[in-house]
Amino acid sequence: MIRLQNVSKTYALKGRRGSARTVQALKDIDFHVPAGQIHGVIGLSGAGKSTLIRCVNLLERPTTGTVSVDGQELTGLSRQALNQARHGIGMIFQHFNLLTNRTVFANVALPLELMGMKRAEIRSRVTPLLELVGLADKAAQYPAQLSGGQKQRVAIARALASRPKVLLCDEATSALDPQTTASILALLRDINQKLGLTILLITHEMEVVKAICHRVSLISDGELVEEAEVGDFFTSPRTQLGREFLNDFLQLEPPRALFERLEATPGEHTHPVVRLAFSGDAVSTPLISRLARECGVDVSILQAKVESIQERTLGLMIAELMGPPAKTREAIDYLESHDLHVEVLGHVQRDD
């Protein structure tokens, strides 16, 4: 439904004395979101998220590469044809971008007025949309009279007015408190299911990805460095940046005192400290006691957490494996052969 091929974007910055500098915000992006998916793009500030999402509806025109939505290559269209194609792409923003001098009803009606639709038809479109977003009783109010969550609901109704196939969400919940965020994400999930709408969202919050996305891409310094099903990303991110996002989200780090004692390489008298991630059958298998029995390794659990992500149960644990090096190596092999993702965080000197 959304396809970017070899998309790069370079901004030219003009200095005071006519000097020119460039910023390459996107580098050779290849990206595909199939119909009906909710796809998240996560990254740190300045990584290129906003530029990426704005390139999808050509609010920002890529310097090179092509953008297609619903089988139509937008980068090859005339201005008029592009305006027409944009009716198929709704967008919501962090700060809602509502018109303050228009009522809720009139804000939602605006894109339809611009399309030249008749009043009666506009009413028959807007009324059910306000019901869908739970604001049927607020039609005559002005944005200033609404909470942040209600304003975002108006923006969602407005984005859906032209019956788009794609909804772009630019940090849509970043200005909202956690409870309101949850209710807006629930609404987006509901719309995705009821209308079959394809959703592309950008965020810097793992919570948002966990709550509603099917797949996630990680963007860093203008490049997509990792892409995965959400369940896989939360169990075994493949990049260091992915692991940092996950650790921040889970707040699952070794205790500080132990962390400071971690050494990068094993020594003759060290124990490995590992982060274990497990899902599926492994969650219910008593692996730790088996490890002691079958490998002769004692396990000291330093931190553990069970998360439920998209109907999958994920277990995460930081543990010290205590035993002779050959045995702890055997234990790691044993865990890996039982579909656990094992990351050796470092090695600590044995106290014994």
Ligand X SMILES: Nc1ncnc2c1ncn2[C@@H]1O[C@H](COP(=O)(O)OP(=O)(O)OP(=O)(O)O)[C@@H](O)[C@H]1O
In the complex, which residues of this chain contact ligand X (CB under 6 A)?
Answer: 11, 13, 23, 25, 43, 45-51, 204
In the complex with ligand X, which residue's Cβ is closer, 8 or 303? 8
C-beta of 217: minimal distance to ligand X in Å? 12
In the complex with ligand X, which residue's Cβ is closer, 61 or 305? 61
DSSP 258: H
In the complex with ligand X, which residue's Cβ is closer, 47 or 316? 47
> What order of strands is seen across the sheet that includes strand 312-322?
298-309, 312-322, 270-279, 341-349
CA distance 30 to 32: 7
- The helix/strand/coil state of 3 is strand
CA distance 337 to 339: 6
C-beta of 153: minimal distance to ligand X in Å? 23
C-beta of 10: minimal distance to ligand X in Å? 9
CA distance 143 to 278: 46
In the complex with ligand X, which residue's Cβ is closer, 29 or 160? 29
In the complex with ligand X, which residue's Cβ is closer, 50 or 152? 50
C-beta of 202: minimal distance to ligand X in Å? 7
Q: Are residues 314 and 233 in contact, defined by beta-carbon separation less than 8 angstroms?
A: no
CA distance 60 to 188: 24
C-beta of 47: minimal distance to ligand X in Å? 4
C-beta of 93: minimal distance to ligand X in Å? 11
CA distance 316 to 275: 7
CA distance 202 to 186: 16
In the complex with ligand X, which residue's Cβ is closer, 131 or 244? 244
Nearest to 303 by CA among 287, 320, 290, 286: 320
